[in-house]
Homo-oligomer: A and B are copies of this chain.
Amino acid sequence: MAMKLPTVGETPAADREVRVRTVSDLSVEVVSDSGEGAQKCGQIFGAVSAKMGNGVWTVEIIPAEVEPPPRSPAGASGIRIRLGDTEVTNWGDETDVAVAFNEQVLLGRHRLGGLREGATVLLESMWKTHPDPDIQTQYRAGLEELQEAGYRIVEVPMEEQCLTVVDNPRRGKNMFALGMLSWMFERDLDRVREQIAQAFRKKAAAVTERNHRLLELGYAWAADHLGERWVVPTMDEDRPHLVMNGNEAVALGAVAAGLELAAMYPITPATSVSHMLGDVFHRFGGVVHQAEDEIAAAGVAIGASYAGKCSFTITSGPGMALKTEFLGLAIMAEIPLVVVDVQRGGPSTGLPTKVEQSDLLAALFGQPGDAPHVVVAPATIEECFHVMTTARRVAEALRTVVIVLSDANLATGVAPFPRPELLPAWQGGPPEILPVPDGMAPYQWDPRTGVSRRFLPGQAGGEHTVTGLAHDERSKVAYDSSINERASAMRSRKLAAFASTLLAPDVNGDAEGGDLLVVGWGSTKGAIEEAVSRARAEGLSVSSLHITFLSPLPPGLAQIFSRFRKVMTVEINYSDRKGDPFVTETNRRRGQLSWLLRGATLVDVDCWTRVMGEPLRPARIVEALRDHMPVAELAAAGAEVAEL
């Protein structure tokens, strides 16, 4: 069937054919200058889609500046929603349908490779006739660039249309866009109206009303003018779900875990956890302490943990660096502490709003001296919620530091997950302040497990001074060298004992083995598993495995690895590529997990990593898998030899 859709910017005529396509997976984005409400539009669209039973993953497009200049490619602000007919676990690949409020922000997205070739674009057309001739010129040039890139561009007179309803179209275009999208994706208009009402519930009723009118306007306009509709089949899902981002999940997870003191210092992308807690924590008797710096935040959390229930601190890379010394103290003095590191691009200030998984080795080994502690990485938004309970419990049970490695991808990604059935036990009890039985010592290590029971201030008979100096069971400063050996062993033993309670990770794909095993950790799970499915569908013998506890490592890795011809990690951190100048097998900088696994298992774990400041795209992973299949590598090596 021939398409009548114009491929170069022109508003389509009212008489045209409408093509309806059913797809199992599709990404939509809305981009604008910041402040134009693109994000609100997308959030409502995403929420409605989730309610209708689609899998959804939403991610915000955030410019680097607070208020970037209007109409600039680097200023693109917006949101991207990926819809699926099953659960969606990651942001996917390129965008299929985009709504853009000006051509410059669209160019920004295009130049970053955000749009799929042939994507459909609904572009505000007002700039074509803008009073400023420079803008007209820019618009024409932009359109040309976009057209050459092969997008299907539909010019939409959004401003003109909105003016029929509102005076200031800057505050309405987003609802108009929502209307268009609702038509294109056959969203249930009642649900959309309801969601709008919910989103603007704090505003005057007139706002909701006006937005409903704009919605309908956009819907009608689309129905009259557009030629493409998409159906993404929905699932029947009875279990109730929640939709939120990973930082919100961490915040509510902290509440569910019974944590009551969050000590922090603002830093992107971790801060929104404390914003959320700032809003709600007092309703649970909790406090957000914004300290003077990250060091003090760690100190306050440690002081509070020392005196009672485990507390937590939350930060990102540069803040982790500052907490290093205090983490060593908490580990040495065996004070429970939960530390959430929402990773961003590094090193140094790096890419503050962008995702990276490059704090792993620093989290594991950053503290001078031998400082055993637990490191755990949630892989999904749901895990962001539940990991907080695990972390508090493990920190208290082992009397040590638990570092939770989230990242910017989880922090800002929004997706539904099954509504947790909350248990009181998750919160732990309030600490018991009972007198200490005679003869008990504050570090009465169980020689097998290294575990001991701490005394809290208020417990008569338990008076002692905790110290970061080497010390014995009674917390007395050690002048005798053998004491240090023993205490070091006890602190380490706790991890080994804990490791013995972990299960070997499941293999996704073929547990019996195969050509290639991909190992990941943290937020990349969804993208990796999707890529593995696609690759398996292509006939490649690929499986994957995801590691939740990075310290201690779970058992069974070496055995699992041995069943595959090749093992590699996929990570968002830096690695030298094979064949880079001067790079050898010994001095190659490797993906951080691959490093860890090589040392632990002695298996030649290869890696494919990228630090592009964005989550991994499943399609790119599939390409990498193809390239790294043992057979492909052999062929490549063969070709090279043949060339000589």
Contact = CB atoms under 8 A, between A and B. Distances in A.
A5 B107 CA distance: 96
B612 A600 contact: no
A94 B336 CA distance: 41
Given A493-B580, A493-B581, A553-B586, A368 B372 contact: no
A306 to B, nearest CB: 14
Interface in A31-84: 64, 74
Interface centre among A354, A480, A603 (most CB of B within 10 A): A480
A362 B368 contact: yes
A325 B321 contact: yes
A497 B584 CA distance: 10
A583 B359 contact: no
Contacts of A328: 317-318, 321, 346-348
Nearest to A352: B469
A308 B362 CA distance: 30
A482 interface: yes
A365 B553 CA distance: 18
Contacts of A351: 469-470, 478, 484
Interface centre among A320, A585, A587 (most CB of B within 10 A): A587
A477 interface: yes
Contact of A346 (B320, B349, B370, B612): B370
Interface string A480-518: 111011001100110111011000000000000000000
A552 to B, nearest CB: 5
Interface string A280-305: 00000000000000000000000000
A25 interface: no
Contacts of A600: 585-587
Contacts of A346: 328, 332, 367-371
A320 to B, nearest CB: 5
- What 5 A-B pairs come out closest when comparing CB atoms? A346-B369, A347-B369, A348-B468, A317-B368, A321-B325
Nearest to A324: B321
A219 to B, nearest CB: 35
Given A470-B345, A587-B555, A612 B484 contact: yes
Q: Which size bracket describes the interface of A in this complex?
A: 35 or more
Interface in A296-349: 317-318, 320-322, 324-325, 328-329, 331-333, 341, 343, 345-349
A426 interface: no
Interface in A358-404: 358-359, 361-372
A356 B488 CA distance: 13
Nearest to A331: B347
A449 interface: yes
A449 B612 CA distance: 21
6 contacts: A317-B328, A325-B348, A329-B349, A346-B371, A448-B582, A496-B582
Contacts of A467: 349
A574 interface: yes
Contacts of A240: none
Contacts of A602: 598, 602-604
Interface in A395-451: 448-449
A558 interface: yes
A132 B325 CA distance: 47
Given A317-B369, A366-B368, A500-B582, A484 B587 contact: no
Nearest to A72: B479
A573 interface: yes
Contact of A610 (B359, B371, B485, B603): B485
Contact of A74 (B356, B479, B492): B479
A583 B352 CA distance: 39
A493 B347 CA distance: 16
Nearest to A372: B589
A497 B581 contact: yes
B112 A499 contact: no
A496 B587 contact: yes
A493 B579 CA distance: 12
A350 B332 contact: yes
Contact of A489 (B366, B576, B601): B576
A111 interface: yes
B369 A112 contact: no
A599 interface: yes
Nearest to A591: B370
A264 B512 CA distance: 57
Given A328-B347, A349-B468, 7 more contacts: A74-B479, A321-B366, A345-B369, A345-B470, A359-B369, A362-B365, A484-B612
A587 B347 contact: no
Contact of A497 (B333, B582, B590, B599): B582
A359 B368 CA distance: 5
Given A346-B370, A489-B576, A576-B489, A365 B356 contact: no
A614 interface: yes
A485 B598 CA distance: 24
Contact of A370 (B347, B368, B612): B347
Contacts of A470: 345, 350-351, 613
Nearest to A596: B599
A370 B611 contact: yes
A557 interface: yes
B583 A601 contact: no
